[in-house]
Structure 1
Amino acid sequence: MKTIGIVQHTVFSAAGTAVPWVKARGFRSLHRRMSEREPLPKVDEVDALIIAGGEMNVDQEHLHPWLREEKRLIEAALKQGKPVVGLCLGGQLLAEVLGAKVGPRGDWEAGWLDVDLQVKPGLAGFEAPGRLKVFQWHGYVFETPAGATRLAGNAWWPHQAFVWDNLALGFQFHPETTLAWSEECANDAELPKTGHVQSREEILRDGPLHQPPLQRWFERTLEGFLIR
């Protein structure tokens, strides 16, 4: 039985729809919650990794020392040919491990917003060009790592997803979002005010329309990337 390591950084930012997908596929889940000070999985304990989002940033190792260990885990998994999927903060960690620039853009991208998908033959979810409504919640951004293929972008930030060597799949947005989590974000007292940002009312309005197709797309993408 394949074991998927899931790294969750905070209570607020869970791995969303990835968790029931892993269970539905009959995989074993090795779920580690950094907010509970649980140890990271060892690379030889897992066949693949899903790295969730979080409120901290990649450059805050002084506040969260386990970030160093997590970056080493990601690097070790890739060296052993084990796939890694990174979601928002997870995508930023993945990009940094691969040598790309990661940092603050100066404003925020938040809400149900469009990204334009690029074609990557053989990669589920990216077989044809198209536009996808995704959930965004970030102020930091990554650039596409050298040697990787950029998979998605928009006018606010061109680097929204990438794939590297068919082993690393990084997302700047939150393909794993549940409707409940998007509503939690909308009701956050610290809803971002500047940038590519929807209002609370817009997020609550758009969630029921856009979350179900995003979930179907993400599950199909996971299916193609992690089942080999």
Structure 2
Amino acid sequence: MLTLFLIGIGCGDPGQLTRAAVQAINAADLILIPRKGMAKSDLADLRRTICADVLTNQATRIAEFDLPVREAGEADYHKGVDDWHDAVAAAWSRTIASQLGDDGKVALLIWGDPSLYDSSLRIARRLDPLPDIDVVPGITSIQALCAAHALPLNDIGEPFLVTTGRRLREGGWPQGVDTVVVMLDGSTAFQSLDPAGLHIWWGAYLGMPDQIVMSGVLAEIGPSIVAARQDARERHGWIMDSYILKRRP
């Protein structure tokens, strides 16, 4: 029987690993490290660093593989994602079969937590044969962002909404909430909103040495965030950021 550990590793700081995560890493027969190209080599490097720091089981092997790239600008967004998930599942299956076969424990180190804007659980259920899936939760980027700003996410007795930059840009401010968490925003969708009464708390590379955080009245600090984001992306070749918007009377 194949067991697949999906281990949340937080947002870049090895200190965010839980004791359960360390135990699961050392319980694995095989650890998979995906490579996302030179532009995102930092992500593979962090996984290698975590393994070097906490892996004490000398019998555990590490295998790296190239992660398929999702086509940009697909006419059918959902079909494009579905096809990409199939391709990733096939890459996982090939690597596991060549390194471990169909019996043993394999682990993937998941950025943040497998439950939030991560495809690993959906991809895992496409594997054939279907493994026993064991999820080890990790610190999400939302938690890391709130911690970086010392910000309570929800107002007292009030809801909040987690959405994507694409949904915010296409649908505008969601009804019924005054707090919105925005993730997976490749084009600073907050620029599409009327900034009146809005405050923003933004962060990039959360938990990593290059962490950047900025906050303030959206109308005033928005252009500075756009400029800082563009500069950081050009310097690093990639960026991973998120932000919180709150509407004030």
* Structure 1 and Structure 2 fold alike (TM over 0.5): no
More strand by share: 1
More helix by share: 2
| Higher relative contact order, chain-length normalized (CA < 8 Å, sep 6+) | 2
Q: Which has the larger radius of gyration?
A: 2
